[in-house]
Amino acid sequence: MIVVNVGSTNPVKIEAVREVFQQYDFLHPFDLKSFDVSSGVSEQPIGIEEIVRGAENRARNSFMMCNYSFGLESGLEKVPRTKTGYMDVCVCAIYDGENYYLGKSCAFEPPVEVVKLVFEGRLDLNEASYQIGLTQSKEIGSAEGLIGLLTGNLVTRKDYTKQAVHMALINLKNPELYK
Instruction: Tell me what pLDDT residue 142 has.
Output: 83
Rounded to the nearest 5 percent, the helix, strand and coil shares of the chain are 40, 25, 35
The confidence score (pLDDT) of residue 79 equals 98
- The pLDDT value recorded for residue 140 is 85
Instruction: Give the per-residue pLDDT at 147.
Output: 95
- Determine the distance from the C-alpha atom of residue 111 to the mean position of all C-alpha atoms in its chain, rounded to a whole number: 19
- Helix (H) or strand (E) holding 102, with range, is strand 100-108
Residue type, 170: I
Q: What is the pLDDT of residues 5-62, one digit of tens each?
A: 999 999 999 999 999 999 999 999 999 999 999 999 999 999 999 999 999 999 999 9
Domains defined for the chain, CATH in brackets: 2-177 (3.90.950.10)
Q: What confidence tens digit (pLDDT) does each residue in 97-118 have?
A: 999 999 999 999 999 999 999 9
Q: What are the tens digits of pLDDT across the range 128-176?
A: 999 999 999 888 888 899 999 999 999 999 999 999 999 999 999 999 9
Positive or negative, the CA dihedral 43, 18, 62, 56 is negative
Closest CA to 4 of 66, 93, 61, 62: 66
DSSP string covering 26-70: GG-SEEEEE-----SS-SS-BSHHHHHHHHHHHHHHT-SSSSEEE
pLDDT for position 143: 86
Give me the mean pLDDT over the 80-106 stretch: 98
